[in-house]
Structure 1
């Protein structure tokens, strides 16, 4: 277990930005961000990450936790691929950073970090079985089972984004892609219109809620969690897709599961950084030994 005074550096590495913050006594401090040089070579990106971490050396952190989208070999600390950064394939990120800073480094998928952050610090901390779903540009899911993060092989557990659904997959129907393809507008724009009771915007979110309900039912069949936490930018429109989502969930075959399910909306700022920092404590035990 972490000591309360232990200082942990958490990073959230994405295709457009890299964010970081230091966790002290369960609180996140000095959150900063830089642009990701996503079109540069692997070497340039690694040096950019290291230079960014170097700006936190005054905090004398004892370990580094990092969340990254894509598949991760957590045992060996290797980023296998990162879709939004073409050169980031089979990157020995842990070895690189440990040799540079002499601190232990822990890597995991960013959606897993979201779920872990909510479980450790946010809305889901009173539950043992939790699934976190981020709904934004894409769809990501992280799984907490018996109070521990479950990753599967190479952090590939819970990749419902790629599960076939209707004529495409769940990511298409449960992310911003749905709004752009079917309504030609971004969800943020439709959200503003929904606030004005615009019929088309209200219909868009109602349809979205139905599809998200289908995704949640799939998750219930596989894992039967006590709670699902929604994160990502589209969660802000929850009042407009809530009813259709819940109506679909109510058709789940086992009402003893669905009627007790708690749907939570993330209120935690920088959840992925919280979860990245929490990896240091979580990896004190084998995450897949459960």
Structure 2
């Protein structure tokens, strides 16, 4: 992982991305996301403002010259009128030209905001000269989303929190300012899952107990705490869950463990917001492989 702010002027954007991808051995480019609509609008506006200032400058100069060229016969009034028109015209046209330059600068930095996904990781260019580079195999924890309203179960999935191997205590907040934000988060989650799943399956096959926050999953079954913050766990084997018509389901907004009660009603043994469970995407993929 590399987060930095360059002290010098940034390289051309695609050159910068290619160099970062090569340096961190990110593999083959799979998908790129960039600002398009707002960037094009800014660029078109810049061209319009600058063109208008240039054309306006030509007209002002032509008018001033027409008033001045007759020479002494024109009289003092023509010179004063020409000077007044020149000052007013140049002030207005300078404002147009300056607005065009501001739009071009904004276009440059808006166009810089990009996310490029590779087989082995991703590059994210942010505003000014900052960038973020992450390899999938450097990520140890991924959590997607936040709770917006706990009572109604409303969550937002337009952000991702990452923890990396070399500094698991530091959490990286990933929410690029791009119109394809939800799609980007989904792609990042899927590519991280695909890269991490083989090692997770190997650990599961070797009999390890895998911890997903409060959930403990192994070949024996799934264990959940008897109460909030409790150190004692209740374990349900996979056979027990199957016999009781139970299931462990990871979806949005909740992850649940349910069984069929005595009166054929569904009884919930465990319920938690999926966005609160670290690596919920890996748990979901693991359960899919078990089937």
Class of the TM-score when normalised by the shorter of the 2 chains: under 0.3
Q: Rg bigger for which structure?
A: 2
Using the size of structure 1 for normalisation, the TM-score is 0.21
Higher RCO (CA-CA < 8 Å; seq separation 6+): 1
Richer in strand (by share): 2
